[in-house]
Amino acid sequence: MPDLQSLLTVAGQVLHHPLVWTLLKIVLIVLPLLGAVAYLTLAERKVIGYMQVRLGPNRVGPLGLLQPIADALKLMTKEIVVPSDANSVLFVLAPVMIIMPAMAAWAVLPFSPDLVLANVDAGLLYVMAITSMGVYGVVVAGWASNSKYAFLGAMRSAAQIVAYEIAMGFALVGVLVMSHSLNLIDIVRAQQGPLGLFNWNIVPLFPLFLVYLISGVAETNRAPFDVAEGESEIVAGFHVEYSGMTFAVFFLAEYANMILVAALTSIMFLGGWLSPLDHIPFTDIALLPSGMPWLLLKTAGVLFLFLWFRATFPRYRYDQIMRLGWKVFIPIALVWLLVVATLMQAPLRHLPIINIWFH
Amino acid sequence: MIDFSVFVFYAFAAVLLAAGAGVIVSRNPVHAALWLVLAFFSGSGLWMLLEAEFLAISLVLVYVGAVMVLFLFVVMMLDINLDRLREGFWRYFPVGGLVALLMVGELVLASLSKNFATMGRNLPAAPADYSNTRELGMLLYTQYLYPFELAAVILLVAIVAAIALTLRRRTNTKYQNPAQQVRVKRADRVRMVDIASGETAE
Amino acid sequence: MSTIPNFAPAAAEILLLALVSLVLVIDLYIDQARRALTYYLSQGTVLLTVLVLVNHVNTAPVFTFSNMFVDDTLGRVLKVLVLLTVSVVFAYGRQYAEERDMLKGEFFSLILFATLGMMVLISANHFLTLYLGLELLALAQYALVALQRDSARATEAAMKYFVLGALASGLLLYGMSMIYGGTGSLNLQEVAQGLASGRVDHVVASVGLVFIVAGLAFKLGVVPFHMWIPDVYEGAPTAVTLFIGSAPKIAGVAFFVRMLGEGLAPLAHDWQQMLVLLAVVSMALGNITAIAQTNLKRMLAYSTISHMGFVLLGILAATQQGYAAATFYISTYTLMALGAFGVMLLLSRAGFEAEQLNDYKGLNKRNPWFALIMLLVMISMAGIPPSVGFFAKLSVLRAALDAGYTWLVVVAVLLSLIGAFYYLRVIKLMYMDEPEDTSPIGGDLDVRVLLSVNGLAVLLFGILPQPLLSLFNHAVVQSLR
């Protein structure tokens, strides 16, 4: 009979096996993410509630804090209805196809200089590639449902996501040019400088920041670009036929994507984990030093913008969305890319003022 | 026990082949397109195994993320009748099969020969700070500058051709001019009418 | 590690690209009524490029862009010919395009892009640039064929052309990858060295060669890879047929010479046998099928196929004399094709395509001058002295004879005798028959003058072929080792 000592050694060995260790780290990222998603839904209802001068959910638990748990329980116990004549395999596969990229993209996201699951050199490309796969879930869901509303929603969504992905990609190329790297940690490091928050990419790349942020809203099918599920026109869009847990997964993916875009915005343009107060004397001791809390704070700030947009703007018309994506954002991004590339050239980048950002 | 990377190679290769077969045999064009997506994905995995990260991720980004979505888009909208497409399959099968056999035979002959086997065996190991992306960029803009620019011209021609063949200005459609919409003044829309009480507007 | 490449040898290509892009942008701001401006700008672009090309000619080949681009005399000569051909195409095709609502900026810019592709192809010294030049040319051609998109015939032709062209590209790429696998290089000289060293497995090399020759044959349109030619010639608008049937043939021959004559020269023994077969069946099928045609465009398509068979006679000699003869042949063929399609365009008018043989009945009574031009072109195509077509045939036959293919030469002469029948039938229709259609023949003055010059050139070079022949001999000797 093995004694406790050898049991612990074996456990340690198993734990340190690369496969087990990585799985453990994945769980450590995904579980808080799911928690964040749950409470983001509550935050959304609360924020919009206050903006509309009402209270929002306040019945389940103190201040309505247990509301997401109740929602989750309700959805889990509901029946999953598969419409007749629907393509049942793809119908069930679609939610999986949409949640998978929303989770997988987190693998390369650095939370602090040395807190990242996989420090990949081409991290930025990886994020773009993985997030671009989310559209399959939408398209397949719309098609497999065998429903006209769902199909129309899927068509709208596919065109919209592909259009805005291009603008987003160009905005990220600007970031790449600034930081000389595709590695997300290096991208944050490149934003470190003597001027604190004025060294962040948001200053030299402000047009690209706007393009990225707004495209991010469109990518996640959020208001005011949520024509894919526009309930006034096509009931609920691509997920109209889904119920119970399958519906919950779509919901989960949408909010996980929101958090992802917010975190990426923070990393690409808002200095990631860097503290805006780093170079103001005495504040670094009293307040938070650079690190993960700052990243989370910034992410939360961007998420608040998402909620604010939803409470403020009326829904865009579909042709206007396409026009904005193709004819406004892509040209803006391209022109600014040209400006950045020109300023990065040797004779220009040594000039005072310009050399603050372009070096 | 086999090497882990060898195991991964066979796994990806098996999925790739299965997906490729799926593309051909599935009766539903949407299924075929999705199988193709899986094939691209496995191919990208194989590239990743060769440490060509940039190419692997670009494959997913471009083909899976953009091209196949549009492809799927079109396939879903068209109601393709596969049974009609498959008419005459068995009639052409002997010829097609013969050509396929010939190709396989040639491939086997060619890849069995010693010249292919020796290639790639003594590749130098990459240094630690080796960046696949940077090296590719360096090559593209120095040694391969000319073909790279040519490829850009080909894409430009593709755009010109696609627009020339599809742009059709219809005369009877109504559309909005957003610039005009934004510039509209109150005077263009609202007319103030003085109405004495007790009377009706004209 | 990175040095700036020498851009000077490619000055013409760079200038052409810059000017095409400019034309493309300017055209956006021109309304339909002033579309002629695009025409003049395109002509200016072509002529400026010619000026840059003839400005300076190297005596020895100059390589640049990591040896992917070669600037030699042969290249310069062929490029100038291509550009002049394109200029004539613009002039002949303009009115036709205008009457058929095709005179859009894309008509010109696509042809100019195709021209750029041909120039890249002619100057290529690397499998990659050969392929990219070919694709640039082909892509623009597919779009040009489909430009009249409400015409079901044109759309069908474009579809066939596209599918078969893509297949040919695939074959070519497959063959190139085999050669690359064997020699480890894509550069033509290095491939030749690798193949000559004898270290390359013969199976790999010959499998690659088979695919490359098949791909090339597809692009040039020789039997048994000719299926697309008649349909595309007939289906495409005549102005586009004029283009497809002229300049790209020159580039196609340049492709053959570069690929087989330079890169795969050590395999000459293998590809000579393949080309013999291709040449014989092309000449036979082209000439015999052409007799059965009632549509002049289709007849000229089959005539093209037989002419390409003759060009292969020059190439398969695998000697400098042979390559010079092949390039001479293709240049004179281009001159004849321009003349034949030029007359066809002249006779066409809004709502009427002069493409049936019967439309040429009694042309002599309607317009004796252009009937004479057509006569010159037809006897030249048939290879009857004193036209240039005779000397073209003579030079390829002599090259084949010197290379020891006596029986092949006998077959070729017999087949060209058969071929003379259908050319002479056109002459008979023009001179012996009564016209069915008596509407006047239009055409602007510049087109009439150019077409006259074109027709007389066929005669002039027939009487004095020596300068042109020695130009090609000189170019080939200076360029190919």
DSSP assignment letter at C352: B
CA distance C164 to C170: 10
The answer, yes or no, to whether residue A1 has pLDDT greater than 60, is no
C88-115 in b/e form (b: 16+ CB < 10 A) is bbbbbbbbbbbbbebbbbbbbbbbbbbb
DSSP assignment letter at A199: G
> To 5 degrees, how large is the angle CA C132–CA C135–CA C137?
110
In this prediction, residues B9-19 reach a mean pLDDT of 93
Inter-residue contact C123 to C70 (CB < 8 Å):
yes
Q: Would you call C207 and B106 a contact, using CB atoms and an 8 Å cutoff?
A: yes
Q: Which of B146, B154, B157 sits opposite C68 (nearest CB)?
A: B146
- The tokens for C451 are 């077409």
**C439: phi then psi, degrees, rounded to nearest 5:** -65, 150
Task: Find, in chain B, the residue whose alpha carbon is nearest to that of A125.
Answer: B57
Question: Chain B partners of C181 at a C-beta cutoff of 8 Å?
Answer: 110, 115-116, 119
The answer, yes or no, to whether residue B83 has pLDDT greater than 80, is no
Question: pLDDT digits over A178-216, tens only?
Answer: 888 888 888 888 888 777 777 888 888 889 999 999 998
The answer, yes or no, to whether residue B119 has pLDDT greater than 70, is no
Q: Which of C106, C132, C140 sits opposite B147 (nearest CB)?
A: C132
Q: Which residues contact C309 (CB under 8 A, 6 or more apart)?
A: C222, C223, C278, C279, C280, C281, C282, C283, C284, C286, C412, C415
Name which CATH class applies to B1-81: mainly alpha
Question: pLDDT digits over C233-278, tens only?
Answer: 999 999 999 999 999 999 999 999 999 988 898 998 889 999 999 9
A and B interact (at least 3 Cβ pairs within 8 A): yes
- The tokens for B72 are 């799927």
Between A204-218, A249-263, A339-353, C168-182, the lowest mean confidence (pLDDT) is in A339-353
Q: Would you call A165 and B34 a contact, using CB atoms and an 8 Å cutoff?
A: no
In this prediction, residues C56-78 reach a mean pLDDT of 87
Question: Chain C partners of B163 at a C-beta cutoff of 8 Å?
Answer: 106
The pLDDT mean for chain A works out to 83
Q: Kindly report the nearest CA distance between residue B76 and chain A, in angstroms.
A: 7
The answer, yes or no, to whether residue B112 has pLDDT greater than 90, is no
The pLDDT mean for chain C works out to 90
Question: Chain A partners of B65 at a C-beta cutoff of 8 Å?
Answer: 128-129, 132-133, 135, 165
The answer, yes or no, to whether residue C210 has pLDDT greater than 70, is yes
A235-252 in b/e form (b: 16+ CB < 10 A) is bbbbbbbbeebbbbbbbb
The answer, yes or no, to whether residue B115 has pLDDT greater than 90, is no
**C126: phi then psi, degrees, rounded to nearest 5:** -155, 140
Touching subunits for chain A (3+ Cβ pairs under 8 A) = B
pLDDT at residue A232, as a whole number: 64
Q: Would you call B153 and C200 a contact, using CB atoms and an 8 Å cutoff?
A: no
**B159: phi then psi, degrees, rounded to nearest 5:** -65, -50
Q: Which of B42, B48, B69, B173 to mutate to test the interface with A (most CBs of A within 10 A)?
A: B69
pTM above 0.80, yes or no: yes
Q: Kindly report the nearest CA distance between residue A283 and chain B, in angstroms.
A: 37
In this prediction, residues B43-55 reach a mean pLDDT of 85
The pLDDT-based confidence of A286 (bands split at 50, 70, 90) is low
Can you name the residues that pair with C187 across neighbouring β-strands?
A: C126
Question: pLDDT digits over C221-233, tens only?
Answer: 898 888 899 999 9
Question: What does each C-alpha distance from C286 to C226, C227, C278, C420 come to in angstroms?
Answer: 9, 11, 11, 12
Q: Would you call C201 and B114 a contact, using CB atoms and an 8 Å cutoff?
A: yes
Q: Would you call B115 and C129 a contact, using CB atoms and an 8 Å cutoff?
A: no
| Better-predicted residue by pLDDT, A77 or A279 | A77
**CB-based contact, B178 to chain A, within 8 Å:** yes
Q: Would you call B164 and C113 a contact, using CB atoms and an 8 Å cutoff?
A: no
pLDDT at residue C134, as a whole number: 93
**CB-based contact, C116 to chain B, within 8 Å:** yes
Q: Would you call B72 and A136 a contact, using CB atoms and an 8 Å cutoff?
A: yes
Question: pLDDT digits over A107-160, tens only?
Answer: 888 888 887 887 777 888 888 888 888 888 888 888 888 888 888 888 888 888
Inter-residue contact C397 to C326 (CB < 8 Å):
no
**CB-based contact, B58 to chain A, within 8 Å:** yes
Between B53-67, C245-259, C273-287, the lowest mean confidence (pLDDT) is in B53-67
Question: pLDDT digits over C407-450, tens only?
Answer: 999 999 999 999 899 999 999 999 988 888 777 787 788 889 99
**CB-based contact, C214 to chain B, within 8 Å:** no
Question: pLDDT digits over A289-333, tens only?
Answer: 777 888 888 999 999 999 998 888 888 888 888 888 888 999 999
Q: Kindly report the nearest CA distance between residue B98 and chain A, in angstroms.
A: 36
A vs B, Cβ pairs < 8 A, gives 69
CA-closest candidate to residue A208, choices A296, A331, A295: A331
In this prediction, residues A250-276 reach a mean pLDDT of 88
pLDDT at residue A125, as a whole number: 86
Question: pLDDT digits over A232-248, tens only?
Answer: 666 677 777 888 888 88
Within a 10 A sphere around the Cβ of C366, how many other Cβ atoms? 18
- The tokens for A124 are 């930025």
CA-closest candidate to residue A161, choices A114, A225, A110: A225
**CB-based contact, B131 to chain A, within 8 Å:** yes
CA distance A139 to C41: 47
The pLDDT-based confidence of C176 (bands split at 50, 70, 90) is very high
| Better-predicted residue by pLDDT, B100 or A350 | B100
The pLDDT-based confidence of B81 (bands split at 50, 70, 90) is low
CA-closest candidate to residue C92, choices C352, C371, C346, C332: C346
Touching subunits for chain B (3+ Cβ pairs under 8 A) = A, C
Q: Kindly report the nearest CA distance between residue A152 and chain B, in angstroms.
A: 10
pLDDT at residue B202, as a whole number: 54
The pLDDT-based confidence of C284 (bands split at 50, 70, 90) is very high
Question: Chain C partners of B160 at a C-beta cutoff of 8 Å?
Answer: 24, 106, 109-110, 113, 143
Q: Would you call C66 and B110 a contact, using CB atoms and an 8 Å cutoff?
A: no
The answer, yes or no, to whether residue A284 has pLDDT greater than 70, is no
Question: Chain B partners of C147 at a C-beta cutoff of 8 Å?
Answer: 164-165
CA distance A47 to C260: 73
Question: pLDDT digits over C338-364, tens only?
Answer: 999 999 998 888 878 888 888 888 888
pLDDT at residue C1, as a whole number: 42
Question: Chain A partners of B61 at a C-beta cutoff of 8 Å?
Answer: 125, 128-129, 132
The answer, yes or no, to whether residue B163 has pLDDT greater than 70, is yes
The pLDDT-based confidence of B11 (bands split at 50, 70, 90) is very high
- The tokens for A310 are 């939803």
CA distance A175 to A184: 10
Beta-strand pair C62-64/C69-71: antiparallel
Q: Would you call B164 and C204 a contact, using CB atoms and an 8 Å cutoff?
A: no
Question: pLDDT digits over C31-41, tens only?
Answer: 878 888 899 99
